[in-house]
């Protein structure tokens, strides 16, 4: 047996050492890699949460993200970077993983990354609005305008009554459109309904803030005798109900 075992560097002793190391999972390469990956994952999560907090604050306050000069020597690098720096200065755990302490390819400060986080927040917000709407009847308010870059856009608001009888209005976003003709706005509304699983059967009203192209549709509708008659009777009924609501108790009783 002594001859078989041999000296320290013998084949037998090397094989026994390799077997011992194999059975010791703490020294296994996969354990080391897994531990490193877990640490990197936790650091990334901490950094991402800090970035989301900055984004949510700026969105809630309606503040801009970018600055005129975002270089390292700038005295004001913009709201996003300055707020992120503020969080780092007041939280050592955040400071360990953000800005200059973050990996070169994982700083999460690029404009595209900021927009991605904003879009993710918008998606989550829209999901909450849609969950509040549920299966209720609703109306839509649509307005058209141009932004500062002279791009045509369409803003939309949903209006409904909640379980407590309160009228709820929720702004659901701005969508850029090629133009503001009635057909283009209709297509944009169709896409919004389809992407958010809204049913036209639940739609009970539409408002377009006196948009000229939508007023043209109203003018065309008035040319149809049946439609014009329907809305005339509806208006008369609305006025009649309003008059009754303003009568005193005795007048209502006599009525």
The 10 Å CB-count burial string (b at 16+, else e) for 28-51 is eeeeeeeeeeeeeeebeebbeebb
Residue 134: both structure tokens together: 């549920």
pLDDT digits (tens, 9 = 90+) for 195-224: 888 888 888 877 776 555 555 556 555 666
Length of the chain measured in residues: 255
* pTM for this entry: 0.58
pLDDT digits (tens, 9 = 90+) for 32-41: 555 557 777 8
All domains of the chain in start order, with CATH: 2-117 (no CATH), 134-223 (3.30.420.40)
User: CB burial class (10 A; 0-12, 13-18, 19+) of residue 94?
Assistant: buried
How far, in Å, CA of 178 to CA of 187, rounded?
11
Between these two residues, 90 and 217, which has the higher pLDDT value? 90
């Amino acid at each position: 047996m002594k001859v078989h075992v041999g000296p320290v560097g013998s084949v037998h002793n090397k094989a026994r050492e390799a077997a011992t190391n194999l059975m010791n999972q703490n020294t296994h390469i996969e354990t080391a890699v897994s531990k490193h990956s877990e640490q990197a994952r936790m650091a990334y999560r901490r950094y991402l949460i800090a970035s989301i907090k900055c984004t949510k604050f700026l969105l809630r306050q309606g503040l801009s993200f970018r600055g005129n000069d975002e270089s390292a020597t700038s005295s004001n690098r913009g709201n996003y970077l300055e707020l992120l720096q503020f969080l780092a200065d007041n939280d050592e755990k955040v400071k360990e993983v953000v800005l200059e302490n973050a990996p070169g390819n994982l700083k999460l400060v690029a404009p595209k990354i900021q927009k991605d986080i904003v879009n993710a927040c918008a998606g989550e917000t829209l999901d909450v609005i849609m969950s509040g709407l549920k299966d209720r009847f609703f109306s839509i308010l649509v307005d058209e305008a141009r932004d500062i870059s002279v791009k045509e856009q369409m803003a939309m608001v949903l209006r409904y009554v909640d379980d407590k009888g309160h009228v709820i209005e929720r702004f659901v976003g701005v969508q850029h459109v090629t133009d503001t003709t009635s057909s283009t706005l209709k297509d944009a509304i169709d896409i919004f309904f389809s992407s958010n699983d809204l049913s036209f059967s639940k739609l009970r009203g539409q408002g377009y803030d006196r948009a000229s192209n939508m007023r043209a549709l109203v003018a065309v509708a008035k040319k149809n005798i049946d439609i014009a008659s329907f809305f005339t009777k509806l208006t008369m009924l609305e006025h009649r109900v309003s008059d009754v609501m303003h009568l005193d108790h005795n007048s209502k009783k006599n009525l």
